[in-house]
């Protein structure tokens, strides 16, 4: 029995060594990502990598090479790239780290690895192949980052130049095969528009629908990220901004109009107040004079003159009192009453004649000489 035990130890060591080497070359299947993507030269690509919950605090990185054990580091979460060609981010809530490669050239065509660094043991990673073409890529989308609203639908347009089965998959979930199906409580409809364009429509979106998806055409995949937000929050915020700005402008215009109207009104009132109006409110004294004829030396009719009492009235002008001006104005109204008539003049003339004649007769008897 001892012999059999000692004989089996070398065999176990070989197996363990082979297992360690194999896992170092291929990695442990604890990361989920795409398997092959095609991109046009000059463009960029973002690849999501989903990892297990126990790796939230671990360092993640992108590695380039055909094998995990002999690949070269490209970018790490704890050592961001300064060139800007490679970018990496880690969303610990969704447990997804994403790597972006910019300014792609044909030399970037290679195998890459999404890797989680393991402190005591071989790192865990999953491989994907990136193909960069001078012309059109075989499967691509105009925009990888999409936004939708809860309760509505969103449509993604894909361009393709290859043949094969069409699927729509969610990262870490299942897939829907053309032409339609249900995925995480959302309705998926896949339509082939022509030989170069296909569309994927997700209906009944919810906030839980946010995440990474990809379209599969043959052996190629193209990932997109969909963010679903509440439309009510967006619409209320947008309507508030669109309402408050015109309202503020309207209030400003009304205030300016009222100020201009008030100034014009004040100017008009000042202009309408003439000096005559102001004087009419000042202290006034009225006097009425009547004339009565008196007998003249040449036998004219008499004139009677009567002076009436003076009526004194004082009214203070508000505007003059404000200016501390005290003015006394006296008006005199003279009315001449002519009582001479033609008959009266003739009568008076006749009386004078008769009187002279009578005087002459009486003096005829008198002795003109003493």
Distance in angstroms (rounded) separating the CA atoms of residues 100 and 114: 12
Q: Is the pLDDT assigned to residue 82 strictly greater than 80?
A: no
Give percent above pLDDT 70 in the chain.
62
CATH superfamily for 139-232 is Immunoglobulins (2.60.40.10)
**Tokens 């009568």 found at:** 347
Residue 89, SS3 per DSSP: strand
**Which comes out higher in pLDDT, residue 246 or 232?**
246
Coil, helix or strand at residue 197:
strand
What are the pLDDT digits (tens) for 12-65? 333 433 434 444 444 445 899 999 999 999 999 999 999 999 999 999 999 999
Q: Are 78 and 60 in contact (CB under 8 A)?
A: no
Tell me what pLDDT residue 128 has.
97
> CB neighbours (10 Å) of residue 9?
9
Mean predicted confidence (pLDDT) in 234-241: 55
Give the burial class of 219: count Cβ atoms within 10 A of its Cβ; 0-12 exposed, 13-18 middle, 19 or more buried: middle
- Within the chain, which residue ranges are assigned CATH 2.60.40.10? 19-133, 139-232
DSSP codes, 11-34? HHHHHHHHHHHHHHHH--S-EE--
Q: Taking 60 as the threshold, does the pLDDT of residue 3 lie above it?
A: no
Tell me the mean pLDDT in the region 135-148.
90
In DSSP terms, 191 is beta-bridged to: 199
The CATH code of the domain at 19-133 is 2.60.40.10
């Amino acid at each position: 029995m001892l012999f059999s035990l000692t004989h089996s130890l070398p065999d176990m060591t070989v197996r363990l060594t082979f297992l360690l080497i194999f896992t170092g070359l291929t990695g442990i299947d604890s990361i989920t990502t795409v398997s092959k993507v095609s991109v046009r030269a000059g463009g960029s690509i973002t690849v999501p990598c989903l990892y297990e919950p126990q790796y939230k605090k671990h360092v993640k990185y992108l590695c380039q090479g055909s094998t995990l054990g002999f690949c070269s580091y490209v970018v790490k979460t704890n050592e961001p790239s300064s060139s800007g060609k490679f970018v990496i981010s880690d969303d610990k809530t969704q447990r997804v780290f994403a790597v972006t490669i910019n300014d792609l050239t044909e030399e970037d065509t290679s195998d890459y690895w999404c890797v989680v660094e393991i402190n005591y043991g071989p790192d865990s990673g999953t491989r994907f192949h990136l193909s960069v073409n001078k012309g059109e890529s075989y499967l691509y989308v105009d925009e990888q980052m999409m936004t939708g609203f809860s309760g509505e639908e969103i449509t993604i347009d894909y361009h393709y130049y290859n043949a094969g089965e069409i699927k729509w998959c969610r990262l870490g979930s299942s897939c829907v095969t053309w032409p339609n199906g249900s995925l995480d409580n959302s309705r998926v409809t896949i339509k082939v528009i022509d030989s170069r364009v296909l569309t994927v429509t997700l209906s009944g979106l919810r906030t839980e629908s946010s995440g990474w998806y990809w379209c599969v055409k043959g052996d190629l995949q193209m990932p997109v990220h969909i963010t679903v937000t509440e439309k009510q929050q967006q619409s209320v915020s947008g309507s508030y901004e669109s309402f408050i700005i015109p309202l503020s402008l309207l209030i400003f215009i009304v205030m300016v109009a009222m100020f201009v109207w008030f100034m014009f009104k004040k100017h008009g009132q000042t202009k309408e107040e003439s000096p005559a109006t102001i004087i009419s409110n000042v202290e006034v004294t009225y006097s009425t004079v009547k004339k009565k004829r008196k007998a003249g030396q040449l036998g004219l009719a008499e004139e009677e003159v009567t002076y009436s009492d003076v009526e004194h009235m004082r009214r203070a002008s508000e505007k003059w009192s404000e200016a501390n001006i005290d003015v006394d104005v006296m008006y005199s109204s003279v009315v001449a009453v002519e009582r001479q008539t033609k008959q009266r003049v003739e009568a008076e003339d006749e009386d004078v004649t008769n009187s002279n004649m009578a005087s002459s007769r009486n003096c005829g008897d008198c002795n003109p000489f003493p």
